[in-house]
Chains A and B, each alone.
Chain A
């Protein structure tokens, strides 16, 4: 109980301090672009009504989910193939390094050309940025399957789909999750950027709209919502990760103890 209390204190201490500093520092601000935090918070409930959540936040989240899921499926599938075969890897690696080096936001105008300005474009942009960390981490994870484990699986006739499911993907899962985590933050960035270019709703669109109509406190509330969304997604991610990778954290803790 005391431990829980202490942890709660730790979690909220820094955010409280930062908000406090912001509050005090901006309290008597008369700058139009840096409104007092008080004003921003007062504006918040007026701006983020149920309708707005439905019309702007929900579409954004759906695009993010779609693009992210697409990237996860494609990244893990391709990564497994590339990681499993040395020849395929030799052929693909230079191309992958090149594609990875292209900053994803640059792709927005390009993708707009053939995917239009609808949801397809946004989902494609998000997916095309998120796929790289997932793909490359999967390749590394699949390559790093322990040779003794691989041999054990072979000697017991664990081959084909069973090997993929029970051995290769499970063994690569810590690295796949590292990729998924990186991809999540990239996904949020791309979600906002793609909505800033050409959209009629969504978080990115709304924030730009506020800025253009000089509704500066409203714009700031939008940024707060983005931050909260990112935080929420990362909490959800951690919960999933702890469930799927429970064995990995336990294994690491036990090797740390014994060494």
Chain B
């Protein structure tokens, strides 16, 4: 579905050369929910922008359904961390969700249907005619998610979407993402710096090294499909997995390369 092959990104400017991403290779299968975690400043956002066609990689390539990504592909939508700056404050919620659909040349009835359906999925049916700045942070991020859903993507890229909301809202939004993923069968790539969030949400966790970034480890999350904030987070298996990821990230920070394995740690 989504292939990242030998991705490399070097920023060059004003006499400084920064190697943000060195050599990244991984795959996301159709219908998977994969979380990317890494130490802060490890080039997660750079990686996601390259995958979304917003940045041209220095080397390597990203393939979406076998086709090379050179610009933002129509089958992919983005949820940014800065919801306040990603929604257009001069448009009402409904218009914000609808704007990308106009570019897809859908007729009016179809657009309206998609907008209504998307806002309903995130529980904001009655906020259609509000302005984004009249809503709370969590609700604004729901609008951004609705906009992404209405776009009917096959892949949804989320760049630390809940880093700026409070803890309780965050838990709700995490469950929302799990629910939407299960209901709609979209492929989701979720970038976060929060280890618990990565283990709680993902079917698979890809641990990245410190910059210049490589894949430190890939880990299958063998928690049951049905997850909830109370029980999942206190399950012994959850604790084991998060400890393991935590160790990997600490190792990544020290720059120790741990042997890559695709098998989860033993029970």
Interface residues of A (CB under 8 A from B): 146, 148-149, 151-152, 154-159, 162, 166-167, 170-171, 173, 247-248, 250-251, 254-255
Contacts and interface: CB of A to CB of B under 8 A. Distances in A.
B54 A170 contact: no
Contacts, number: 69
Contact of A156 (B78, B85, B131, B134): B78
6 contacts: A151-B49, A155-B52, A155-B72, A156-B100, A158-B100, A167-B88
Nearest to A163: B103
A123 B88 CA distance: 37
Contacts of B89: 247-248, 251
B90 A149 contact: no
Interface of B: 49, 52-54, 72, 74, 76-78, 80, 82, 85-86, 88-91, 99-100, 102-104, 131, 133-134, 147, 151
Task: Indicate the member of A148, A248, A250 with the most B CB atoms within 10 Å.
Answer: A148
B256 to A, nearest CB: 35
B192 to A, nearest CB: 18
A146 B86 CA distance: 9
B88 A166 contact: yes
Contacts of A166: 88, 91, 99
A164 to B, nearest CB: 13
A149 B86 CA distance: 5
A248 B86 contact: no
A3 to B, nearest CB: 23
A167 B87 CA distance: 11
Given A250-B134, A251-B89, A157 B74 contact: yes
A159 B104 CA distance: 12
A152 B80 contact: yes
Contact of B80 (A148, A157, A167): A148
Task: Indicate the member of B72, B76, B90 with the most A CB atoms within 10 Å.
Answer: B90
Contacts of A162: 99, 102-103
B88 A156 contact: no
Q: Which 7 A-B pairs have the closest CB atoms?
A: A156-B100, A148-B85, A155-B78, A247-B90, A157-B103, A170-B90, A254-B133
A173 B147 CA distance: 24
A250 B92 CA distance: 12
A172 to B, nearest CB: 11
Contacts of B99: 156, 158, 162, 166
A156 B80 contact: no
A152 B86 contact: yes
Contacts of A152: 78, 80, 86
Contacts of A248: 89-90
B90 A156 contact: no
Contacts of B131: 247, 250-251
Contacts of B54: 151, 154-155
Contacts of B147: 156
Given A154-B54, A158-B100, A167-B88, A255 B133 contact: yes
Contact of A154 (B72, B76, B88, B102): B72
A162 B147 CA distance: 17
B117 to A, nearest CB: 17
A170 B82 CA distance: 19
Given A157-B104, A254-B133, 6 more contacts: A152-B86, A156-B72, A156-B99, A166-B88, A247-B89, A251-B89
Contacts of B88: 149, 166-167, 170-171
B90 A148 contact: no
A255 B131 CA distance: 13
Given A151-B80, A251-B133, A157 B90 contact: no
A146 B82 CA distance: 11
Nearest to A159: B103
Nearest to A252: B133
Nearest to A151: B54
A248 B76 CA distance: 30
A167 B89 CA distance: 10
Contacts of A170: 88, 90-91
Nearest to A169: B90
Contacts of B80: 148, 151-152
B156 to A, nearest CB: 12
A48 B104 CA distance: 58
A148 to B, nearest CB: 4
Given A146-B85, A250-B131, A158 B103 contact: yes
B151 A173 contact: no
Contacts of A157: 72, 74, 100, 103-104
A181 B90 CA distance: 20
A158 B105 CA distance: 12
Task: Indicate the member of A155, A170, A171 with the most B CB atoms within 10 Å.
Answer: A155
